[in-house]
Amino acid sequence: MLRLILLTLFLQEPLNVQTNVDFQPKPEHVVPKGTGILVALINRISTKNITEGSGVYAKTTLPVSDGDRIIIPVGATVTSKVVAAERAGRIKGKASLAISFQGLMLDIGRTIRIYASLGGSDTGTRTGEATIQAEPGKQTEDVLVAGARGAATGAVIGVASRGVGVGRAVGIGGGAGVAAGLAESLIRRGDDLILERGTVIEIILDRPIEF
């Protein structure tokens, strides 16, 4: 009877079986943090009409290897999205575009999540970790040209004024012309940032890619 009772108690005790729930298989491929990947845009992008959340797609232009074999081939698709798009102001401020890199699509038919920053672009200027800004200078030149053109026109009008000395007339007319030229520049918006299809962008991995 005692043996029967002990056997019954033993069977009622839960078995203490330990399982390794944290086990993860070692990745077959690893692309280290800091690796630069060159990609070329598939679609044309312009701050004139692109909106936040729009998709941006590119393909790798050079293979990435681990020293022994190619891990990321030429033609692999990198998916991204626009997180901010700003058009240029009328007097100051340049058009800019911020891109968040999302995934890497390989021939194996799956998308791998990536975390990366902008390394550079052959169009525009890199600012911050993910922003491309329009080339500086052109908008300022437009304002100066408009002002100079208005000054020249105003000076001619000033000289033609009756009852005013030549020097004073040039000053008055020239000042009015500058104001008119600047007013003209206010009507015009600065150039949009345009990244044509085929624009090459370098992305830098913030975290390693493992798969």
Q: Using the 8-state DSSP alphabet, how is residue 18 labeled?
A: -
Burial class (CB in 10 A: 0-12, 13-18, 19+), 193: buried
Give backbone dihedrals phi and psi of 75, rounded to 5 degrees, phi first: 95, 0
CATH, domain range 26-134+192-210: 2.40.128.260
pLDDT score of 54 more than 80: yes
- Which string of DSSP letters, residue by residue, matches 90-104? SSS---EEEEEEEEE
Q: Where are the domains of the chain?
A: 26-134+192-210, 138-187
Q: For residues 192 and 134, is the Cβ–Cβ distance under 8 A?
A: yes
Cα atoms in the 13 Å half-sphere on the side-chain side of 12: 6
User: What tens digit of pLDDT does each residue of 85-121 get?
Assistant: 999 875 557 899 999 999 999 876 789 999 999 999 9
pLDDT of 146: 47
